[in-house]
Structures are given as structure tokens and as C-alpha cells.
Structure 1
């Protein structure tokens, strides 16, 4: 890319990385804190993201696209069970669901999310279907249950990022063992759209 475009791309990467760190630590932090952490001028930030709302929306949209990319990769695995396991491990490592845990309700999603949301539902359903077909995934586990697993791992946070990653993988391993256990699961499973209320803007 030409020099100016390359600089703009670098700034954009710095801003999004900084915004993720700032808003996961404090969703109410001002946008100026993002500019300071990114080492860019506030005017440069506003040229790319005219409001905090737009910046939050972009962060979560990028997280959703990352989730879908990992889900698509899982479908390329010929082993339905290993496809599920690898998918969950990669999404936990990418820390995608921390965005949901910390930022849901802090901005208003728009229609640009819909294609990715629909794709997410479709590929997750297919991952679960293939895992069930192997006979290893316990009956009664639904695509919505995967969201609960991922959010449970994302809720684990330590001051040391390395320790956080270790503990998340440890908990995921225990949850995966539960996915192969016998017996009925208590209560009805989560229903499609049951958690959509979290994305309504909180006042």
C-alpha cells in the first residue's frame, strides 16, 4: 500500500487492539483512553471511528467474524468430534466471547451484523450435528450450549494473561469431558435467541 494508506492501516490495527484492552477492562472508559493507549492522536481516531458506539460495534463485529472463521475451519475437519473440540479450543484461545461477556448492552447492533449472525447460527448447528453423528457428543447438547461453554471460559480472568489462558484451557477440558458423559442434562436447553436481550442498549 502507499505510505499514507499503510500508516492508516497500522493506526487502525493499533486502535482496535487498544480498544479491546481498554473496553474489556472498563466498558465505560472514555474513547480518549483508547487513543492514549494506541499512541495516536484523538483526531486520527475520530477520523476512523466517529463515536465510541461505532468503535464498540466494530470490535464485536470483528469478534463475530473471527468466530465464524473458526467455525468454518471446524467444518473442514472430517472427524466431527475433533472438529468440535478444535473449534472450542481455538475460540477460547482467541478470547472472542470476552467481548460478549463485557460489551453486550453497551452499544446498539445494526443490520450489518445480521449476515454474520445468521452464518454463525448455521455453522454452529452443523458443528453440533456432526459431533452428534460421531456418537461421542452426549444427547441433549444443543448449539446454544456451546455459547454457555465459551462464555464460562471467557469469564475467567487473571492479572497474568498467560495464567488466564492456562485456566481457561483447564476449564474447557473439564467441560469437554462433560460433553461426552452419559445421562440426561438437567433443565431445558437454551433456546435460540434466548440471550438476545443482552444486546439491547442499557441506559
Structure 2
């Protein structure tokens, strides 16, 4: 890749990272907020994405592809079923595609390709879930949509410190996973990370800078 192309690729990645951060915080933010955060001119941004809607579709498409790749990896994993289940959920939390789902749902019109990718994602997710149920590691009354909403619940845990945010998300993911186990399952996992402090609970109400 030439130097110019490499620079263009880096700029595009910076735009996408900035767009993700901006729209997760405020789905109604103008596209100029993305350009400002990315440190690029608005004309450079429009040179790649003709509209906010196109940029939102790109973010949603990237998130779907990442989620599908994680599901495909999990379905190919022949390790202990509970280990596979926990590994997949932890990877999904770290990829944080659920934050995009929470923020972007209903904010743009999907393309046929996006709908196709979403259907593929749903199909693989159900296959993965059915495999875990067949392995008899999950409680009988759990359904696949419970997993989707649990991932969204964990994505709602947010702090200004990203390292601490990850720790807390994994703490609450562990709580949720323990509740999903088949009754009587041994080896209850200890909760990772320390519980949130009062300062961490109240910082969410501080005005955004």
C-alpha cells in the first residue's frame, strides 16, 4: 500500500472510530461532530460518506460483520460447551457491538445487504444458542433473545475510564452468565473486578465536557 493510500486508510479508520464514539453518545449528533472529533475537514468526511445515513449504515454493517465472525469462530470451537459459551459472550462484550445496537436502532433505513447480513447474524446466533441448549449447560427457560438483551444490558454500563468500564462490564456479564447456568451446575465463578464505587455511580450525572 502506497504512503498516500495508507494515510487515507488511517484517516478513514479515525473517522469510523470517531463516528462510533459520537453516535453511541448521541445518535442525533450532526455529522460535523464526527469531523471535529476525528480532526478532519468536513469536506474530507463527505468525500468518503455522502451523508450521515451512509455513515450510520457503514457502522452498522461493520458491527454485524464483526458479530458474525465471532459467531462463526464460536461454532467452530469444539471445547467444553460452557467454556465456548463464556468465551463468546466475553468477546462480544469487548467488541461492544451492542452499544451500536442500542444507539443506532431505528435511526436509519437499512439496505437490502444490511438486512441480509442481519438475517445471517440471527441465524448463526440461534444455531449457537441451540448448540448450547443441546449441550445441557443452560437453564431450560432461557431463550435466544434473552442473550441479546443481556448483551445490551451490559453495554449500558459506561464510565469515563475505559479500562474500568471493561472491568465493570465483565463483572456484570459474569453475574448474568451465572444466572443462565443449568440449576445445580457446579463451579460458580467468582465475580471479576471490584464493585463500583459511589464516585463511579455519581460521575454519570456530571455534565458532558
SS at match of 1:165: helix
User: What is the rounded CA distance, in whole Å, between the counterparts of 2:150 and 2:26 in structure 1?
Assistant: 23
Residue 12 of structure 1 is matched in structure 2 by 12
1:101-147, Cα deviation, whole Å (9 max, x unpaired): 11212111111112211221121112111211221111122222210
Structure 1: which 5+ residue stretches go unaligned? Answer: 184-203
TM-score by length of 1: 0.85
CA distance in 2, matches of 1:117, 1:80: 25
> What SS is found at the alignment partner of 1:20?
helix
| Structure 1 position 10, deviation (Å) | 1.2
Output the TM-score relative to the length of structure 2.
Answer: 0.83
Supply the distance in 1 between the matched residues of 2:41 and 2:68 (Cα, whole angstroms).
33
Aligned to 1:36: 36
1:113 and 2:141 matched: no
Name the counterpart of 1:74: 74
Does residue 129 of structure 2 align to residue 128 of structure 1? yes
Three-state SS of the structure 2 residue aligned to 1:122 is helix
Match of 1:190 in 2: none
Taking only aligned residues, the RMSD between alpha carbons, in angstroms, comes to 1.5
Instruction: Work out which structure has the larger RCO, using CA pairs closer than 8 Å and 6 or more positions apart in sequence.
Output: 1
In structure 2, how many angstroms separate the alpha carbons of the residues matched to 1:145 and 1:50?
37
Asked if structure 2 preserves the Cα contact closer than 8 Å seen for 1:80 and 1:133, the reply is no
Aligned match of 2:58: 58
In the alignment, is residue 142 of structure 1 matched against residue 143 of structure 2? Answer: yes
Rounded to whole Å, the distance in 1 between the matches of 2:82 and 2:131 is 7
User: Cα distance, 1:172 vs. partner?
Assistant: 0.6
Contact 1:61 1:113 in 2 (8 A): yes
Unmatched 5+ residue regions in structure 2? 185-209
Alpha-carbon separation, structure 2, partners of 1:121 and 1:103: 17
**Larger deviation: 4-13 or 83-92?**
4-13
Q: How far off its partner does 1:181 sit?
A: 4.2
Structure 2: distance between partners of 1:142 and 1:95 = 21
Match of 2:100 in 1: 99
Name the counterpart of 1:188.
none
